[in-house]
Homo-oligomer: A and B are copies of this chain.
């Protein structure tokens, strides 16, 4: 391969790993060219699986280790497990320039800590932010921070605006990033001082990367008028998880309603094509892949409970981020 993109894959974290990871690689590699996968984990488990797939042995290498971080490990106990865990080794391959990005479906807290121990921050950025895709009426939002920092100051939120916009541009190159600050509505009560000051800074700032659209309330996140939503990690995490919980609640109530009688079942069957379209649009696997922004290498977290399709999508996110030179884009715009 000519200068392939090298993706470090931690094969051992999350539900049904490494099987779903390997099958995710099969799906991704069938659609993408010039990618090389550095797969970190237990060779004895991985090899028999990957040999049953159509993945050519010219596009991957298995780097064996027996030491894995469990989903139940605390970040501290994970770091103590040492430098030969599959997660540590895969992150280290970024540091050693053997890989261009890393993806893991493992322990989020551990991934953060080990990434921060091994990788440098982008110059002038104080805090990393966890960002993810969130569907809206017209496409996809980037929302950040989703839990890396409980408290943020004005500088952090301005940095998040830049990093989130650069990420949006990398994933959806034809769209203009439109940034909004997540806030509450009532005039009198509007926001704390950090949010108000950030509003002022972003209003005064001229930049070629994004348009600043002011405040947004929780009920308008999915309207599609903006596409980069900035907030502190506490609020962002609560918002994301509340949206997830609401979606689960509604779809399970809907399922119950549709299946609660014979006629209901019958008409559900008739309707199955339309419901599938609905389900596809809301399929969380479509926007699987949270990105830890602020480090000088791309670190991607796949949802632990996703399947091979979801994992393949997080590999796609890796690929887009590298091809679009996300990190360079951030460096050029930061100040």
Minimum distance in angstroms from A49 CB to a CB of chain B: 30
- Chain B residues, Cβ within 8 Å of A75: 187-188
Known A-B contacts A267-B270, A268-B271, A271-B264; the reply to A222 vs B238 at CB < 8 A is no
Taking CB as reference atom, which chain B residue is nearest A264?
Answer: B274
Taking CB as reference atom, which chain B residue is nearest A259?
Answer: B274
A189 to B109, Cβ gap below 8 A?
yes
- Chain B residues, Cβ within 8 Å of A113: 188
Minimum distance in angstroms from A331 CB to a CB of chain B: 27
B241 to A257, Cβ gap below 8 A?
no
Interface residues in A177-201 (C-beta closer than 8 Å to B) = 182, 184-189, 191-192
Binary interface profile of A, 117-150, with partner B (CB < 8 Å = 1, else 0)? Answer: 0000000000000000001110000000001101
In the bound complex, CA of A274 to CA of B255 (Å): 10
Copies of chain A in the complex? 2
- Chain B residues, Cβ within 8 Å of A135: 249
Taking CB as reference atom, which chain B residue is nearest A186?
Answer: B109
A238 to B182, Cβ gap below 8 A?
yes
B257 to A274, Cβ gap below 8 A?
yes
Chain A interface size band reads 35 or more
- Chain B residues, Cβ within 8 Å of A222: 245-246, 248-249
A217 to B189, Cβ gap below 8 A?
no
- Chain B residues, Cβ within 8 Å of A231: 238
In the bound complex, CA of A233 to CA of B235 (Å): 11
Indicate which residue in B74, B151, B189, B238 contacts A218 across the interface (CB closer than 8 Å).
Answer: B238
- Chain B residues, Cβ within 8 Å of A108: 186
Known A-B contacts A257-B278, A263-B270; the reply to A189 vs B242 at CB < 8 A is no
Q: A residues touching B (Cβ–Cβ < 8 Å)? A: 74-76, 108-109, 112-113, 135-137, 147-148, 150-151, 182, 184-189, 191-192, 217-223, 231, 233-235, 237-251, 253-254, 256-258, 260-261, 263-264, 266-268, 270-271, 273-275, 277-278, 281-282
**Complex A-B, nearest 3 residue pairs according to Cβ-Cβ distance, in ascending order:** A218-B241, A257-B278, A218-B242
